[in-house]
Amino acid sequence: MTWINDYPEHACVLAKFFADSMLLNPTEVWLDSPTQPQHNKYKVQLIVVWNNQGKQALV
């Protein structure tokens, strides 16, 4: 994911969620048995890709 740094004007990481820091919902579909909510096992990032207008609308 380091290639995001190549586009500092348009892409950035908004938040980082380390493993076990977020409770993920199971899908509302069961093929055999239901799954339970589970913590993320892997690191997850919230990234944003935007132009200046998008940036200004949010900031």
Partner 1 sequence: MWDSSRGQNIRDKAIFITDTVNPQADIPPTWKCEIWVRDVDLLKPGYNKDSEGEPKIPEHITCQAACAYDIYGKCTGMLSLERLNILLHAYNQSERIGLHSTTQPPVQDTATEIVGLLQMYKLQMSSLNNIGKKAKDSNMYCTPRHIMTSLPKRALVTKQKFASPLDFDPSYQAYWSENTGDTVFGASTNAFDTKFTGFSFCHPNYCDYLLHSLVGHALQSTNSLKKLQQHSYSSLIGLVGVRTGT
Q: Which residues bind partner 1 (CB under 8 A)?
A: 1-2, 4, 7, 10-11, 14, 22-31, 33-36, 38, 40-58
What is the Cα–Cα distance from 56 to 39, expressed in whole angstroms? 34
Give how far Cα 9 sits from Cα of 3, 25, 49, 59, Å: 13, 33, 9, 15
The two structure tokens encoding residue 8: 């500092």
- Considering the complex, what minimum distance in angstroms separates the CB of residue 18 from partner 1? 10
- Considering the complex, what minimum distance in angstroms separates the CB of residue 43 from partner 1? 5
